[in-house]
Amino acid sequence: MAWMDYLREIPDFPEPGVLFRDVLPVLAVPDAWREVLDSLEQQVRPLGAHVVMAPEARGFLLAAPLADRLGAGLVPVRKPGKLPDPVFRERYTLEYGENQLEVEETTVLKGRRVVIVDDVLATGGTVKACAHLAERLGAEIAGFAFLIELKALNGRSRLDDIEAPVLALERL
C-alpha cells in the first residue's frame, strides 16, 4: 500500500468543522514511512539547504530524519515556555486556534539556507511564523516542504511574499 493509504481523516477534530488529517499512522508502517522520507529527500535535496527547521511537534518527526539524510543541521521551533532565554518569539494563527512559536536566539543561522518542513500546510500560519523566525536569525529561506497541502485553506498564497518554492508530496 502507498503511504497515503495510512492517512486517517477525522471529522470535527480538534473542533467542529475541521477535517483533521492524521499522519501518525503512516509513521508506524516501516515501508510507508520510508516511502515518505525517500520522496521528501528527493524533493528537498535540490534546494541545497544547510539546515532543516521545523515546528513542534509533528514537524520534528519529519525534520530530524530528513536532516540526517541531507547531511543538514536541525533547528527545532518550539511551542511557548520550552526554551531558555534568550528567544525570538512569533505569534501566529492556525486552522484551529492561535499560539506562539519560539526559537533560541543564539542559534547560528546567518547566511545559512534553511528549508522549513512540516506534516500539513493548512492556513500557512505556522510555517509563516517559522519563516519569520528564520529571517530574524539571519537565514535565507531555501523552501518549504510538506507531506500534505490542504488546497482549500490556501496556505500557499500566505507564503507568496517569500521567494521560495513550496513543495508538497500530496495536495488534497
Ligand X SMILES: O=P(O)(O)OC[C@H]1O[C@H](OP(=O)(O)OP(=O)(O)O)[C@H](O)[C@@H]1O
Of residues 78-97, which lie at the interface with ligand ADE (CB under 6 A)? 94-95
CB of 110 to ligand X, least distance (A): 26
Query: What span, in angstroms and rounded, lies between the C-alpha atoms of 112 and 101?
Result: 20
Per DSSP bridges, beta strands 87-94 and 8-11 are unpaired
- Applying CB under 6 A, which of residues 76, 115, 126, 143 lies at the interface with ligand X? 126
CB of 47 to ligand X, least distance (A): 19
* Angle at which helices 58-70 and 30-44 cross, to 10°: 60
- 163 C-beta neighbours (distance < 10 Å), count: 8
Residue 105 backbone dihedrals phi, psi, to 5 degrees: -65, -20
- 76 C-beta neighbours (distance < 10 Å), count: 20
Number of residues binding to ligand ADE, judged by CB under 6 A = 9
Give yes or no for residue 122 binding ligand ADE (CB under 6 A).
Answer: yes
- Applying CB under 6 A, which of residues 2, 8, 12, 19 lies at the interface with ligand ADE? 19
* Consecutive H or E run containing 128: helix 125-136
Give yes or no for residue 29 binding ligand ADE (CB under 6 A).
Answer: no
Interface with ligand ADE (CB under 6 A): 18-21, 94-95, 120, 122, 150
Interface with ligand X (CB under 6 A): 55-59, 94-95, 118-126, 155
